[in-house]
Homo-oligomer: A and B are copies of this chain.
């Protein structure tokens, strides 16, 4: 990894055109060839960058970074170089995560009654012609219930659920209802769900996690 702090101008031409006037910035060249141009503000996203694989042609006071898709990043050094150093970082062991939609689905599969009292899980990722239904359940009356799980319930999730319900009806899973289960269901999605005659429910993730992934409890 090469780390440079210097005054420079930056120009990108590729999927769009973008240019940065002269200022002092942090430049990072990673081992895979990718280049990041960071200012002293603005969160984790660089002002400009080039993703690997790409080639850096170091012309001293101009860097030309190009990739196979014809994108080009040009960095021109216009003043003093405050810092320029290379360091070996070694292999990255990798990141462990917990808390995303897959986990939510796993927990709701174990506790489908947290979506709606009386629900019993029949199948996970039930295949239809327009994609898999997250949870296919039956309620106390024997009615099929398609559950679409999102971390955040938005209009797109409602439309997706509507397509599943339509397809399940054609497949003969009748009668069938649809329920959108999400940590948060935004107002537009609630409204559209009502228009489409679909249900929605907000899931308390902390409570659900407390129930654990094992031993589905029926009641």
A residues sitting closer than 8 Å to B (CB atoms) are 1, 3, 5, 15-26, 28, 30-32, 34, 36, 38-49, 51-52, 82-83, 85, 87-100, 155-156, 159
B91 touches A23 (CB 8 A): yes
List chain B residues, Cβ under 8 A from A90: 23-24, 40
Are A31 and B36 in contact (CB-based, < 8 A)? Answer: no
With known contacts A41-B31, A44-B36, A100-B16, A26–B95 Cβ distance under 8 A = no
Copy count, this protein chain: 2
Q: What are 30 A-to-B residue pairs whose CB atoms are below 8 Å?
A: A5-B89, A16-B97, A16-B98, A17-B97, A18-B96, A19-B95, A20-B94, A20-B95, A22-B93, A23-B92, A24-B88, A24-B89, A26-B28, A26-B89, A31-B40, A32-B43, A34-B41, A34-B44, A40-B92, A41-B52, A43-B51, A44-B46, A44-B51, A47-B92, A47-B95, A48-B95, A82-B87, A155-B156, A156-B156, A159-B159
